Amino acid sequence: MSEAFRDREPSGDDKDRQLDGVREDSANALTTETGVRVEDTDNSLSAGERGPTLMEDFHFREKMTHFDHERIPERVVHARGAGAYGYFQVYESLARYTRADFLTDPGLRTPVFVRFSTVAGSRGSADTVRDVRGFATKFYTREGNYDLVGNNMPVFFIQDGIKFPDFVHAVKPEPDNEIPQAQSAHDTLWDFVGLQPETLHMMMWLMSDRAIPRSYRMMQGFGVHTFRLVNERGEGTLVKFHWKPLLGTHSLVWDETQKIGGKDPDFNRRDLWDSIERGQYPEYELGMQLVPESDEHAFDFDLLDPTKIIPEETVPVTPVGKMVLDRNPDNFFAETEQIAFHTANVVPGIDFTNDPLLQARNFSYLDTQLIRLGGPNFQQLPVNRPVADVSNNQRDGYGQHRVHRGRTSYFPNSLGSGCPYLGEAPYSHYAERVDGDKIRKRSESFKEHYSQATLFLNSLAGWERAHLTSAFQFELGKCETMAVRERVVEHLNRIDHTLAAEVARGIGVAPPATEEVANHGRSSPALSQANSVTDTIYSRQVAVLADEGVNAAEVLRLREALAAQGALVEVLAPHDGQLRAVDGQMLAVDRAMHTVASVVYDAVVVAGGADSAAALAEYGLALNFVAEAFKHAKPVAATHEGVGVLEAAPLPHLRMAGDGDPAAVVDQGVVTHRGGDPAEFHTAFARVLAGHRVWDRDTARVPA
């Protein structure tokens, strides 16, 4: 278990101290924005009791005007997000590759703010939709802000940023009726995909379980592009950035995500917030794939093509440091909404490559902040302010917060003692040699679009592949235009004939008669989520179903055993308040069952106690809870009389514990316990829970 899994106080770093200067606690008398105390904020100033409101009511006008202007444009993409502060620390100096201060000093904790997001939905859309997740990190380094603006998938939909407006228009709700919200399952996206085969590799990722993460704490992040590190000597090393969550990479299942969208649209946001409040801080390791400049052309794809990965088996990911998110923002709008990322926010030692997608991004992010945050001074907003000193001749503009003193705002000057002057260790661009004709032409080295899509498919576990096939069937099945469906199937046939045939059958399209291209058979095990960390139950949420007459002692023992490993156990009952246990003690109910659902838990246990179990076996919500958890491949367990509730639920035939059986009987991830040492049951259940889901399960006939 990692060091951060122990309780720790938030870091209280330079950024935190800086923010202290602007935090407000509303502890004073009510005033206007001009500081004048207000006598009454419930009644407007009027001419007589029933007369008109008076213009001179400056308090009314100010209050209303401010309210009328409260909204700013949401982000054109990634509008829905959640963020947190934390810190990053490098394990060992990377001075060999980069001169970036925050990557060369292992003693240094660099403050960060991370914003996670979905892409297509509006600000108020549900968290658990099928979508790419943004993973944007702002490092407040001593040499200025560095932004690593990545996603939870390592490739992108297009190769050249000039196509970004087209792609986004295609995926966003359709312009005539603004339907569907936060969904890729509609004609315009798949129309674009069918006509633009460079999207196909990314579409494989989007149709995979990566697009429905269990938690922001359990997803990877990728810088996507090939970037460049530059050391003191000016030597470059090409690099791809990876974030790897210490809890492993885990997903939800599709039916579950759709239900969570209604039961708890804030599911991922709440999970991030709650885990930080509990002191269970999300942690990620930063990894780098390092490629010497001399090997730039050593691959069978172009490193500048953002629709390609470097397989980890070809160039391993070197873990270089760790990020811990340990503090929630104080104010969503001020911090999470106003944070402004920009791929061109780099620090000395980190540089770009000529990836045409990256080049376009280096224009777009600054441009979008100008409209979104209302002018050129958005870097002065508290969340954006660097901890490094800022000194330049930029002046004025809307919302100028600095009071620049002196007569000079130009360079060079003598009247201002030559300040600000050009200091030591400045950012200097990597001296890459560039020459060529001025042309509009995609490089020949960008022309192959299918082979890595096949690689991804070949690397999936059986259950991952089954989910991907269903996802294609769902999404294409929602497209009304048959030609759109057909065109995509034709492309799938160039990725893998069996996949194309399976998808075609589900959507009423004739399966392609012949194999277009033979599957190359190569795979990259690192691409499968099945190969991620599955040995911890830390922060997993377990529901225990109980009713009057529950065996409370047993529940408390279970809670204690799982809590010792960092899992959370909540007691759910048909009503809130307390339950009278079989021994006459009272057991506190954490939530009434009708306010929650199985889909917001990782696992369910039905408690023992004859009366409790008899009541739950007659309670539809409890039976549905169990069946749905089973359907969604979650660990399910029951102790003593609770086993009867599993028997009453619409589950397939399972071997369950009876008299004389060992302390834990496990069948298809259903753990039952009727006698023997409870500790053995706890261990068996924790083992299944650590596996996240139980995929080899017979769920076909379970009606949930």
Q: Which residues sit at the interface with ligand HDD, rule CB under 6 A?
A: 75-78, 81, 115, 117, 134, 136, 149-151, 156, 161, 164, 224-225, 306, 339-341, 357, 360-361, 364-365, 368-369
Burial pattern 358-391, b for ≥16 Cβ within 10 A else e, equals: bbbbbebbbebbeebbeebbbbebbbbbbbeeee
Coil vs helix vs strand at 557: helix
For ligand HDD, the closer CB: 156 or 630: 156
164 is in an annotated binding site: yes
The 3-state secondary structure of 341-357 reads CCCCCCCCCEECCCCHH
Catalytic site includes residue 354: no
Burial class (CB in 10 A: 0-12, 13-18, 19+), 437: exposed
Task: Give, for 646, the enclosing helix (H) or strand (E).
Answer: helix 643-648
Separation of alpha carbons 216 and 280, rounded Å: 13
Separation of alpha carbons 308 and 288, rounded Å: 16
The residue from 59, 78, 250, 342 that is catalytic is 78
Greatest CA separation for the chain: 94
For ligand HDD, the closer CB: 231 or 368: 368
Separation of alpha carbons 399 and 374, rounded Å: 8
Q: Nearest approach, Cβ of 163 to ligand HDD (angstroms)? A: 8
* Helix boundaries (H) for 9-75: 14-20, 58-68
Beta strands in 416-555 (DSSP E): 541-545
For ligand HDD, the closer CB: 231 or 377: 377
Burial class (CB in 10 A: 0-12, 13-18, 19+), 312: middle
Q: β-strand 670-673 against 665-667: which pairing, if any?
A: antiparallel
Task: Give, for 170, the enclosing helix (H) or strand (E).
Answer: helix 164-171
Separation of alpha carbons 343 and 163, rounded Å: 18
For ligand HDD, the closer CB: 87 or 227: 227
- HSE-up of 71 (CA within 13 Å, CB side)? 5
Helices (H) and strands (E) counted in the chain, each on its own, are 17, 19
**Helix, strand, coil content of the chain in percent (nearest 5):** 30, 15, 50
Q: Are 664 and 684 in contact (CB under 8 A)?
A: yes
Q: Are 457 and 472 in contact (CB under 8 A)?
A: no
Residue whose tokens read 């993460």? 213
Q: Are 500 and 512 in contact (CB under 8 A)?
A: yes
Q: Which two tokens stand for residue 125?
A: 């859309």
Q: Nearest approach, Cβ of 293 to ligand HDD (angstroms)? A: 22
Separation of alpha carbons 106 and 92, rounded Å: 5
Q: Nearest approach, Cβ of 435 to ligand HDD (angstroms)? A: 25
Catalytic site includes residue 78: yes
The residue from 59, 145, 151, 682 that is catalytic is 151
228 is in an annotated binding site: no
Q: Which two tokens stand for residue 367?
A: 């441009």
Separation of alpha carbons 598 and 603, rounded Å: 8
Q: Are 534 and 247 in contact (CB under 8 A)?
A: no
* Helix boundaries (H) for 478-581: 482-495, 497-506, 552-563
372 is in an annotated binding site: yes
Gap between the terminal Cα atoms of the chain: 35
Residues 6+ apart with CB under 8 A from 254: 130, 212, 467, 470, 471, 474
Q: At what angle do helices 482-495 and 451-459 cross, to 10 degrees?
A: 80
Residues in the chain: 704
Coil vs helix vs strand at 404: coil
Phi–psi pair at 244, nearest 5 degrees: -120, 120
433 is in an annotated binding site: no
Using CA atoms of 153, 159, 161, 166 in order, give the dihedral in degrees to the nearest 10: -90
Sheet containing strand 591-592, strands side by side: 591-592, 568-573, 541-545, 603-606, 636-639, 670-673, 665-667
Residues designated as active site: 78, 151
List the binding residues for heme.
75, 115, 164, 361, 365, 372
